[in-house]
Structure 1
Amino acid sequence: MKKFILFFILATFSVIAQAQSGYNYYEWGFGGGIGYGKGYTDTKKQDYHPIFNVNIAYNYNPYLPIALEFQLGTLSGGGRTRDKDASGRQYKNNFKALILHSDFQAGDLIDYSDNGILNVVKNFYLGTGIGAVFNSMKDIQRTNLYIENGPIGTTRGFEGKDKSVNMVLPLRIGYEFKIYDDYDQVGYTITIGYEHNYTFGEGLDGYNDDPQIFKNNAPDQYAHFTLGFRYNFGNTVSYNKLIRNFKF
């Protein structure tokens, strides 16, 4: 009888300890990813390119990472023939960006305990932030190849800068897959997302012409689909809700 009671007590404490461990998370994360996207600039035609990133994140809680991200990629568009651009504009921008952003996941807002569907929904996120994009034109057509209403042989140069810096506002949406380690904490994450970046300026394509001459509906933008991986580490911190639901 004593052995049975002892076994029952040990089993109870084991279950409690396992449940308690599901409340903990790591304070920091480090990762990277690859995206595939294009610019939305003043040229009609835009090309798709890979965009790479590395980031370090402070996990304010398990559903609110705040990350400093470095991006590296290429944006290009237009063409020197009229079927690609009416004026023969073409650009290639090997850009870099430094962005501070946070992703607010549904799990911080909803009660997902003992609910299989909400345990899936809890990992969807919306995010935003602020940053800067550093533009560097590696190929750009500065002369109008098809100027209209002018004497034969005349040209008009396109205005703009080969190198510039613009503020950028990211809008992010996606889903995070949490991978738990032996301590039932989120040791790794895999994210699938979409990011649309609005810039405050006209530097992505290197063109900044008079909008009365060249129609310009909006500031330059770029967007990409992303696949990311992050390794979590550092201090163990407790959260007020069970992060890992052992029933699902």
Structure 2
Amino acid sequence: MVSPYKAIDAGVGANLNTVMGDAETLKRTTGAHINFNYNLDMFTALIAEIQFGTLAGGDTYTTTTGREFSNNFKSFCVRGQMQVGKIFYRLPHAIQKAYLSSGIGGINNNITSINRMSFKLPGYSTAGRPKSTNFFVPLRLGYEYRIKNAYKEPILKIDLGYQHNFVLGDDIDGFTANKKDIYSQLSLGFKIPLFGQRW
């Protein structure tokens, strides 16, 4: 039996962020996201997403470089998403809702707090830009749980995902050093189907 679904979903959620950049100490920070989803079929979608929140890392006093920062960021990305059921439709229904997603995005960095000087190495400092914009490539693994009505149509989608963002630059921590930055996100989201009835 073919189940009905809506072509357009809208979603909101929360993120737990971690930066792997030029600051030695990792910190977890929070953020939020809003997205709109165009469902090509039951298993594939195109997603436009806005995120905002804080990225942070480092420790002024305990690390050799003294690097520490806080970044109030905003980002936008477009990505495609495909669930396991698109290819392996004979697997158990619960497994079919796992998905892989990737695309392209941009992040606007606003460094609100930073330490560039080292207390352990007198005279050592790290240069960088307090405001910048970088492109990034998101790679996301996740699972979507659907709550359905009596007609087997989804009325709420709960999304749990882990996203690794490969930044095509070295600015999200405010330090220009020797490697491009990466930030990861663990997210929980809720999507509501809006309109565009399909079968």
Q: Same fold (TM over 0.5)?
A: yes
- Percent identical: 28
> SS at the partner of 1:201?
coil
The aligned residue for residue 157 of structure 2 is: 189
Note the alpha carbon deviations across 1:120-165, whole angstroms, 9 max, x for none: 11101011010001100010113344435xxxxxx35421100000
Structure 2 Cα separation of the partners of residues 54 and 63 of structure 1: 20
Structure 1 counterpart of 2:85, one-letter code: G
| Superposition deviation, residue 119 in structure 1 | 0.9
Preserved contact between residue 129 and residue 175 of structure 2 (Cα < 8 Å): yes
Structure 1 counterpart of 2:49, one-letter code: E
Which of the two has greater helix per residue?
Answer: 1
Structure 2 Cα separation of the partners of residues 224 and 111 of structure 1: 29
The aligned residue for residue 11 of structure 1 is: none
In the alignment, which of 104, 110, 131 is matched to residue 163 of structure 1? 131
Structure 1 Cα separation of the partners of residues 10 and 138 of structure 2: 20
Structure 2 Cα separation of the partners of residues 147 and 181 of structure 1: 63
**Alignment partner of 1:205 is 2:173:** yes
Note the alpha carbon deviations across 1:45-91, whole angstroms, 9 max, x for none: 0110112101011111111121111111211111221x2x2121111
Size of the aligned set, in residue pairs, is 199
Preserved contact between residue 24 and residue 67 of structure 2 (Cα < 8 Å): no
RMSD: 1.5
Structure 2 counterpart of 1:138, one-letter code: T
Structure 1 Cα separation of the partners of residues 149 and 132 of structure 2: 44
| Superposition deviation, residue 104 in structure 1 | 0.7
**Alignment partner of 1:103 is 2:81:** yes
Preserved contact between residue 77 and residue 106 of structure 2 (Cα < 8 Å): yes
**Alignment partner of 1:51 is 2:51:** no
- Matching of residues 86-235 of structure 1 within 5 Å: 86-112=64-90, 118-147=92-121, 155-209=123-177, 216=178, 218-235=179-196
Q: TM-score, normalised by structure 2?
A: 0.93
Note the alpha carbon deviations across 1:147-189, whole angstroms, 9 max, x for none: 35xxxxxx35421100000001011001110111243212211
Structure 2 Cα separation of the partners of residues 184 and 88 of structure 1: 56
> SS at the partner of 1:107?
helix
Structure 1 counterpart of 2:68, one-letter code: Q
- 5+ residue gaps, structure 1, are 1-18, 149-154, 210-215, 239-248
> SS at the partner of 1:122?
helix
- 5+ residue gaps, structure 2, are none
Structure 2 Cα separation of the partners of residues 142 and 45 of structure 1: 14
Structure 2 Cα separation of the partners of residues 237 and 118 of structure 1: 23
Which of the two has greater strand per residue?
Answer: 2
Q: TM-score, normalised by structure 1?
A: 0.76
Give the greater-gyration-radius structure (CA). 1
Structure 1 counterpart of 2:128, one-letter code: G
